[in-house]
Structure 1
Amino acid sequence: MPADPFEISRAVTLLESEVELNAVRSQGAGGQNVNKVATAIHLRFDIAASSLPDFYKSRLLQLKDKRISGDGVVVIKAQRFRTQEKNREDAIARLVELIKSVAQTQKKRIPTRATKSSQKKRMDSKTKRGNTKALRGKVDSSY
């Protein structure tokens, strides 16, 4: 039975064969279940060797993310849930979310100017504040 591809967008899919999933033991509290059962999932995804378009690859490699190693491998450890199946789904969902995040381009910011009235109000408040501070000086006792 062939594995279902993971959908990134309508045009881009990720093959399950490109994602390496290993079951490992979870960390932290949990008693005997944590000590006996390998429920955490360790996901590894090589960006350069994947079938992703070059646009996605370059954006992912430029991303400053602690989950992406120096040699371009995404490493995700999923251990939120008690079952291996839920952790597997969580790891894959986090990988898909990471890839989707680089596809969105940020809107270019168009700087706006302050209005005349806001500039005047700001200058008036600065003058008032300066006058208040000037009154705090030493008093001349030569009268």
Structure 2
Amino acid sequence: MNKTIVIQELDFKAVRSGGAGGQNVNKVSTKVELSFDVENSLGLSSNEKERCYQKLGSKLTKENILLLSCDETRSQHRNKDLVIKRFMETMRTGLVVPKIRRKTKPKRSAIEKRLKSKKKNAEKKARRQRPDIR
């Protein structure tokens, strides 16, 4: 992922924020909505786009656009910084390549050790019982 190209491709829209804030909420557009077109991005390779479709599929629209918004603070600039950080974190986690799991076998010594401890416990429990007299 080429961060500089991706950041240039981000689209921002300022919207009026809801919630508490009094007259400021009615006058100022502080909520920031970020949209990123995954399909037409030049900063992502085709493999990275496929990984985005798979891992971020629930966050994408039908047109494969990632939408994020932030209205945590009363400052539009601060909200813009926060939504960019959130976007970068989302992309970082979405583009992580999972490690390939290789099947392993327990070592022979570990198997023998486990069987010895089982045998020892079985003998210990057998000694607790009454002797069988016939």
Could you tell me the TM-score, scaled by structure 2's length? 0.65
Question: Which residue among 3, 6, 11 is the counterpart of 1:19?
Answer: 11
Aligned AA for 1:110?
Answer: R
Structure 1 segments, 4+ long, off by >3 Å, are 15-18, 33-38, 100-104, 124-135
How many residues get paired? 132
Structure 2: runs of 5 or more not aligned: none
Aligned-residue identity in percent:
22
- Relative to its length, the structure with more helix (as a share) is 2
- For 2:98, the equivalent position in structure 1 comes to 106
Asked if residue 38 in structure 1 is aligned to residue 29 in structure 2, the reply is yes
CA offset digits 1:57-98 (Å, max 9, x no partner): 222112245322343121112233332111111112222333
Paired with 2:117 and 2:14, the residues of 1 have a C-alpha distance of 63
Paired with 2:118 and 2:107, the residues of 1 have a C-alpha distance of 17
- For 1:50, the equivalent position in structure 2 comes to 41
Cα contact 1:40–1:79 (8 A) shared by 2: yes
Q: 1:1-143 residue pairs with structure 2 within 5 A?
A: 8-9=1-2, 13-14=5-6, 16-27=8-19, 30-32=20-22, 35-36=25-26, 37-51=28-42, 52-127=44-119
**Pair 1:96–1:120, CA change in 2 (3 A):** same
